[in-house]
Structure 1
Amino acid sequence: MASKVTGIERIHEVGLGESYKASDGLEGTGGGGGRGSGSMEMRDENEVDETVLEQGIEALEGRGKKWYAYLMTRDFWLVLVIGQVLALCITATNTFSTLLVNKGTSIPAFQTLFNYVLLTALYTTYTIYKYGPKKYFKLLLVDGWKYIILSFMDVEGNYFTVLAYRYTNLLSAQLINFWSIICVVIVSFLLLRVRYKWAQILGILICCGGMGILLASDHITSGSGDSTPTQVKGDIFALIGATFYGLSNVFEEWFVSKRPMYEVLGMLGLFGIIINGITAAIFDRGSFRSATWDGQVGGYIVGYTLALGIFYSLAPIILRMASAAFFDISLLTGNFWGVIIGIKVFGYTIYYLYPIAFVMIVLGLVVYFLAGSMLGDSRKPWLGRYQEGGVAGVGTAKRRAIREARREGVVGAGEESV
């Protein structure tokens, strides 16, 4: 670990015993498959000698002296593509939410419950298989309260965002989501010691400028721009949801950089069922009784669940390879995809400023990495100089450093333990 740790890291270290940290998991390692050999391979890979990490990191950074180096890597284009897939997924969930409201079925908490059930079925089951019941229940006792906080922020982000569609339209609700970027930048700066470079700040500003053009276009096409009281209420709910989303994205980035993705998603699903179920029981009872229930509504809920399930499964990868800030600004393009769907499904009309705004946001995503390194945002400041405090999982700088060290001959091809 680095000599200095943030408050959030101290919380993790106090709550996690040494024996538990020694058996840290790693997804996608080795071919063992079972809990025995698989756990040993996972532990060895994560406990690689710091000298190996140092040489691997420096070798990678040494190949990225030019300002555009990262833009020429496969990782950058992969991150860009995954970001657009996530934007399409979130647009799909927003569309299904709007379709449900149009059918008279506004159940913001209940409709998201199935997503957490899906995550639990997939990832909690796999986590128990990898860890074994004894280690899994120890995880619940030691780290459960941290995942409860993450799940609470995630559940309420979903609830208030979906609730906003009861009072406002698809475009207006999506336009508010840029607020989550501000939350991410502030929290990352204060808690995770992230220091943004000039290109990153410029890229964020360009993306927000594109969002400003979308807002202007929405104002022009709506006529006078006057808002009804219900639209204002919808905007407030969207802002609250965006705030929770921003906070949960930062904390999830922190979690997946230190823990296996399947563990994080499994715990998020498990506690999400409980918190989301309580939220639905409190706030959705009246709406549930008055809702329309037919095959079409069932289809919308299934579509919503599948789109959200894909979104949750891919999000940790981009949070590892990039950052919560890049993740959030990538989702801004969802507003453009939302307009395309809105034209076909809801009869919206497109204004000439929308394509301009889309190009600006994509340009901002590219500019974000102009002054970066060969590792981009995958090198997390809270994991130590050579990422020794992180998990060597899919998309992490630590894993890339280990592979680079092997390529350079620092670690023998057959040496799994260091």
Structure 2
Amino acid sequence: MIQVGDPTKDAGPVLDPVVSETEAGAPDEDDLVRQGLQDLETKPVRWYSYLTTVEFWAVLLLGQLLALCITGTNTFSSLLATAGTNIPSFQVMFTYVLLSLVYTPVALYRMGPREWGRVAVKHGWKYFIFAFLDVQGNYFTVLAYRYTNILSAQLINFWAIVCVVVVSFLLLRVRYRPFQIVGVVVCCGGMGVLLASDHVNGTNGGPGSNMLKGDLFALVGATCYGLSNVFEEFLVSKRPVYEFLSFLGLLGLCIIGVQAAIFDRDSIRDAVWTGPAVGYVVGFTLVLGLFYSLVPVLLRVASAAFYNISLLTANFWGVIIGIHVFGYAIHFMYPIAFVLIVLGLACYFLSGSALGESKKPWLGENQEGGVDGVGTAKRKALRVAKKAQLGGSAV
């Protein structure tokens, strides 16, 4: 299993301000967490329990916001390719610059330069692995738009779900319920229909210069995304979000900078830099920056599988944009694939629990290995326990 280390054991008293995103808790904080989790887990639970909570609908709306962000970045990539500017590495590099400028100062202020440097030395290699996977996911996904179209690339990205389920099961000891497995299998059927429409019938929402090559690039990108999503869920459950995004921005910038210098030199030289093209890059950067800032919250409250399943609805928004912006004509097999994906999404959501998926099995029975941060089961348990201590009054 991946190991980052128990933050309470790694750093001693020096790391206390970093591990907890709130003020230091009372001496009996562990007991409060244990009591809060017990109260949450002993509530009556039915198969639809999680669907009736405010948290579920908040997570669902957050997932749709992220789906819109994905659709926005895909649209900007397609518009850039149409304008004759296809620079996969160079295009994504500005997002890592934005993350570095925003979150590195926050991390240095919250942690202090000395502690930030200590984390960089001790845990930097873990952030490097994640940043590398993330960069390649972005690179191959953007590159796919040179050869395929927006609808195919978005649907194929669902392959990340399969990677997430397998890796989470093997490495993070996540165990999925029957309805969740059924949902993923149904979504696989949707991808099969998509591939059939692309390679048997030739098109799916518009022509591409090389549909097979583009689809393969999209699959590579989706695989990298799946692996990075699991790693990200693991990291943000144990570390502060600002620390995570700070290292992602800096290391991602270094990796993508080298990659752009090697692979994108000709593309950058031949790029058509018009006013609209610059605007597309700016739009891509801002939307993807917002996406990166929100994903850690969703991964804490839910899971990498829940996150990827939610993003499949981006195809709905992609259809709308594809029709009205790019003038695509939808092949009759595409709605079948979309319906299968929606059915799979519904099956997955029908398998809830009182805590949803915020309680992570790799953090211990009482989440002692986790961070007290926004969206974590530890913070939820603390609030419940403190509310119980105050006789039900608001915390």
Q: CA deviation at 1:205?
A: 2.3
Instruction: State yes or no: 1:138 paired with 2:118.
Output: yes
Is the 8 Å Cα contact of residues 336 and 355 (structure 1) preserved in structure 2? no
One-letter amino acid of the counterpart of residue 26, structure 1? S
After superposition, the CA RMSD in angstroms is 2.8
Q: CA deviation at 1:11?
A: 6.1
Instruction: State yes or no: 1:245 paired with 2:225.
Output: yes
Q: CA deviation at 1:24?
A: 3.3
Closer/same/farther in 2, CA of residues 14 and 127 from structure 1, 3 Å limit: closer
Instruction: State yes or no: 1:371 paired with 2:351.
Output: yes
Instruction: State yes or no: 1:44 paired with 2:25.
Output: yes
Q: What is the distance in 2 between the residues matched to 1:372 and 1:141?
A: 40
Is the 8 Å Cα contact of residues 171 and 335 (structure 1) preserved in structure 2? yes
Q: Under a length normalisation based on structure 1, what TM-score does the superposition of the two structures give?
A: 0.87
Q: What is the distance in 2 between the residues matched to 1:206 and 1:322?
A: 21
Q: Deviation per CA, 1:237-289: give whole Å up to 9, x if none.
A: 11111111011100000011011111111111111111111111111001110
Q: What is the distance in 2 between the residues matched to 1:294 and 1:10?
A: 45
SS, match of residue 163 in structure 2: helix
Q: Which of 153, 159, 175 is matched with 1:179 structurally?
A: 159
Is the 8 Å Cα contact of residues 182 and 344 (structure 2) preserved in structure 1? yes
Q: CA deviation at 1:369?
A: 3.8
Q: Which of 285, 302, 309 is matched with 2:282 structurally?
A: 302
Q: Deviation per CA, 1:59-81: give whole Å up to 9, x if none.
A: 11222422211110011111111
Point out the more displaced range, 213-222 or 302-311: 213-222
Point out the more displaced range, 144-153 or 208-217: 208-217
Closer/same/farther in 2, CA of residues 355 and 81 from structure 1, 3 Å limit: farther
Is the 8 Å Cα contact of residues 16 and 142 (structure 1) preserved in structure 2? no
Q: CA deviation at 1:134?
A: 1.4
Instruction: Report 1:261-280 matches (<5 A).
Output: 261-280=241-260
Q: Deviation per CA, 1:170-198: give whole Å up to 9, x if none.
A: 12222221211111111111111111111
Instruction: State yes or no: 1:99 paired with 2:79.
Output: yes
Q: CA deviation at 1:336?
A: 2.0
Look up the match of 1:319: 299
Instruction: Report 1:376-395 matches (<5 A).
Output: 376-395=356-375
Q: Under a length normalisation based on structure 2, what TM-score does the superposition of the two structures give?
A: 0.91
Q: What is the distance in 1 between the residues matched to 2:181 and 2:362?
A: 20
Q: CA deviation at 1:207?
A: 3.1
Q: CA deviation at 1:366?
A: 3.8
Q: CA deviation at 1:10?
A: 6.1
SS, match of residue 134 in structure 1: helix
Q: What is the distance in 2 between the residues matched to 1:10 and 1:325?
A: 21
Look up the match of 1:9: 3
Q: What is the distance in 1 between the residues matched to 2:204 and 2:264?
A: 34
One-letter amino acid of the counterpart of residue 83, structure 1? G
One-letter amino acid of the counterpart of residue 84, structure 1? Q
Q: Provide structure 2 residue ranges, at least 5 long, that are not aligned to the other structure.
A: none
Q: Which of 384, 390, 395 is matched with 1:404 structurally?
A: 384
Look up the match of 1:151: 131
SS, match of residue 125 in structure 1: helix
Look up the match of 2:18: 24
Closer/same/farther in 2, CA of residues 154 and 124 from structure 1, 3 Å limit: same
Q: Which of 57, 67, 77 is matched with 1:77 structurally?
A: 57
One-letter amino acid of the counterpart of residue 232, structure 1? L
Instruction: Report 1:77-226 matches (<5 A).
Output: 77-215=57-195, 222=202
SS, match of residue 377 in structure 1: coil
Q: CA deviation at 1:230?
A: 3.0
Closer/same/farther in 2, CA of residues 74 and 210 from structure 1, 3 Å limit: farther
Q: Provide structure 1 residue ranges, at least 5 long, that are not aligned to the other structure.
A: 1-5, 30-40
Closer/same/farther in 2, CA of residues 354 and 414 from structure 1, 3 Å limit: closer
| Aligned sequence identity (%) | 58
Closer/same/farther in 2, CA of residues 236 and 371 from structure 1, 3 Å limit: closer
Is the 8 Å Cα contact of residues 64 and 373 (structure 1) preserved in structure 2? no
Q: What is the distance in 1 between the residues matched to 2:32 and 2:315?
A: 44
Instruction: Give the count of matched residue pairs.
Output: 394
Closer/same/farther in 2, CA of residues 153 and 64 from structure 1, 3 Å limit: farther
Q: What is the distance in 2 between the residues matched to 1:12 and 1:341?
A: 45
Look up the match of 1:3: none
Point out the more displaced range, 63-72 or 283-292: 63-72
Q: What is the distance in 1 between the residues matched to 2:46 and 2:98?
A: 44
Q: CA deviation at 1:204?
A: 1.8
Q: CA deviation at 1:19?
A: 4.8
Q: CA deviation at 1:217?
A: 5.5
Closer/same/farther in 2, CA of residues 355 and 168 from structure 1, 3 Å limit: closer
Q: CA deviation at 1:55?
A: 1.4
Q: CA deviation at 1:228?
A: 8.5
